[in-house]
Homo-oligomer: A and B are copies of this chain.
C-alpha cells in the first residue's frame, strides 16, 4: 500500500474513532507511523488531507444494480434498506464531523456539487428504483414514491445516528430492514 493510502487510512481512522477535534497532524502521523512532515509531501495542507479523506474514504454508496421488475418489490426493498443501513452505519461518524467546521462544510459542498454527488443521492436512487417499479406496474400509480424513499432512507440514517451516539454496542438489529419496509408496503403495492 502506498504511503498516501496509509496516511488516508490513518486519518480516516482517527477521525472516526476520536473525532475531527482530535484529528491533529501529530495524531494522524502517529497513526500512520510516519512523521508529520511527510503528510505535507502528499497533501497541501490539513484541510486538503481532510477533503481527500472525505472523497476517497467515505464508503461508496452502491445500491445493488437496478433490480426493478425482478424478484418481489418487498424483497428488493429489504435488500436496498439493508444496504442503506450499512452505508450510514459506516459513513455517519465522518459525515457528522463535516458539520464541526463551517469552512470544511463549505469546501466539501463545493467539491461534491462538482461531482453530482451529495447526501441526496441515496434517496434519489431509492426513489428511482420505486419509479421503475411503478412503470413496471408493480407499484401503485398514485403512490408518493419520493415520500416513501425519504421515509426509508431517513430511518436508516436515524438508526446510524443512534448507533453512533450510544457506541458500537447495539449495532446490528436483525430484521430491522424487514420491519422498516413492512409499514410502507400497503401504500405501494397494487392490490
Residues of A within 8 A of B (CB): 17-22, 92-93, 96-105, 109, 118-120, 123, 143-144, 146-148, 150-159, 161-162, 164-167, 179-180, 182-188
Contacts and interface: CB of A to CB of B under 8 A. Distances in A.
Q: Which are the 6 A-B pairs with shortest beta-carbon distances?
A: A154-B154, A154-B158, A100-B100, A154-B155, A186-B186, A21-B101
A100 B21 contact: yes
Contact of A151 (B120, B151, B165): B151
A116 to B, nearest CB: 14
B151 A155 contact: yes
A101 B19 contact: yes
A182 B142 CA distance: 12
20 contacts: A18-B101, A19-B102, A20-B101, A21-B21, A99-B100, A100-B100, A119-B161, A144-B179, A150-B158, A151-B152, A151-B154, A151-B183, A151-B184, A154-B154, A154-B155, A154-B159, A157-B157, A182-B187, A183-B188, A184-B187
A120 B118 CA distance: 26
Given A151-B155, A184-B184, A186-B187, A165 B19 contact: no
A74 B148 CA distance: 16
Given A19-B102, A96-B96, 7 more contacts: A18-B102, A20-B101, A120-B162, A150-B159, A151-B151, A151-B180, A151-B184
